[in-house]
Amino acid sequence: MAIGGLVIAALLAAGLGWLGRPVMVLLPESPEAAPRSPSPIAISRTPHLSWWLAGVAFVQVVIVAVAVPAHLLPAWIVVCGVGTWLAYLDWHTHVLPTRIVVPLFAVAAFIVLIEAWLVADVSIFVRALAGSAFAFGSFWGLWWIADRWQSGSFGFGDVRFSAPLGVVLGSVGPWAVPVGLYLGFVVGAVLAASMKTRGHQGGYPFGPAMLAGAIVGAVLAA
């Protein structure tokens, strides 16, 4: 990909990431949040948060653009930009807000449809839908099993978040979905182990690991 195009794509993702703080200010407290979890408004007060989110989104798209074809980048720009908000929210509140995840899925799917139309390759959109269905179905199955073993041990927000990640991973190729999902669990295990050694008690946010796994998985599979 040309340097100019890569920079533009990364800047667009950074712009989306920057909007995360204003969005958090408008978010109500989620009924899914734990009793002592901070509210979105409270965590939005982190100094220079917009710039931090913008920087992370910028780096994510640069990584993806190393391997993913340019015509598939628009959907990744949206998922990396908005996904950065979700990862930050999940890290602090252990909640992936439905009012953000569901529109993200719809927008990502629509953009992939446009991408497939522009290059006259309907298989891109078919792969994206199949990847999303596979990701959502796999996570739903894990949630169902975990909920019967220990209720609340696996959040349903992670199940919802798998759908937009499956869309962009599926657009890259059929192997990107299982690779991205598997790496998400690897990153999640490393994060959980690290937090446990520091004396952390309670649940572990999985959203950041899912996003990181999807980005690395896309690069490896592409």
pLDDT of 14 reads 97
pLDDT of 32 reads 73
Using an 8 Å Cβ cutoff, are 184 and 212 in contact?
Answer: yes
Query: Rounded to an integer, what is the distance from CA 140 to the centroid of its chain?
Result: 16
pLDDT of 178 reads 94
Structure-block tokens of residue 160? 């919802």
**pLDDT by 10-residue block (mean), the chain, 222 residues:** 83 97 90 78 94 97 94 97 96 92 98 97 97 96 84 81 97 93 89 73 82 94 80
pLDDT of 216 reads 94
CB neighbour class for 178 (10 Å; exposed up to 12, middle 13-18, buried from 19)? middle
Query: For every residue of 108-133, which 3-state class applies, written as one string?
Result: HHHHHHHHHHHCCCHHHHHHHHHHHH
pTM for the structure as a whole = 0.93
Query: What separation in angstroms does the CA of 107 have from each of 74, 171, 199?
Result: 11, 14, 39
Closest C-alpha to 20, from 88, 110, 112, 119 = 88
pLDDT of 202 reads 61
Q: Which domain holds residue 99?
A: 3-221
pLDDT of 200 reads 61
Asked whether the CA dihedral 95, 98, 103, 109 is positive or negative, the reply is positive
Domain count, the chain: 1
